[in-house]
Amino acid sequence: MRAYLTARGIAPGALPSIPPALRFLTDHPYVKKIGGELVTVHRGPCMIAGVLNPAGEITAVHQTWVDPEPPHGKARIAWQGDALPAKLVRGSKKGGAIRLVTPDDAEALVMGEGIETTLSALAADAVPGAAYWAGVDLGNMAGRAQRGAGLRYAGLPDMSDAEAFVPPPWVRRLIFIQDGDSDPRATRHKLECGLRRAMALRPGLRGQIVQAGQGVDLNDVLAGRGADG
């Protein structure tokens, strides 16, 4: 796992230890439903992490297959000529998060979309004493947005979405990391939606969005890669 994280720009000494939330399997099957049947299309080393719901129960498993050959980045997986994503989530991620680090006295929560982006913020000690959780994807962090004329990028949450992510009561400051590797306007709309929902449901909560840069995510910044890296 350290080799994979190093390949993603997180040096061995950048973290005091690998968070216990992350586990590693040396020979994990990549299973895909094809023609109504479950087919193992790949096997190999895989980093796994539990997605925990607000009650602290594992409701999904996040899987990242790793290339066994140096430099041990994400595995390249294909089936009948079609490339497949190296990351899969099994189970229900709704309202959950991958809780990488949660200090007992934390009052701030830093959340990136992916594990690597969030670990990069942790390695940089972006907010000392904060908890660092990965939100799995933007949709999960944002929840459902209001729809209607002129609301496409308004960043207004649909408060009837009972399954959207909401931070725990102890969080007084919520920081979302905005990766720059997707449409910036749409990304910010989703993050604003998630922050506004959280602030509405947690009175006194302060929300903030930090940007990694145009065309890159925070993990790319620490790895020294630009938009073309």
Across 194-219, average pLDDT = 83
33 or 183, greater pLDDT: 33
Report the alpha-carbon distance of residue 139 to residue 155 in Å, rounded: 12
- Name the pTM for this structure: 0.90
Cα 81 to its chain centre, rounded Å, is 28
pLDDT by residue (tens digit) across 64-120? 999 999 999 999 999 999 999 999 999 999 999 999 999 999 999 999 999 999 999
pLDDT (tens digit per residue) in 15-54: 888 999 999 999 999 999 999 999 999 999 999 999 999 9
Peptide bond into 70 cis (omega under 30): no
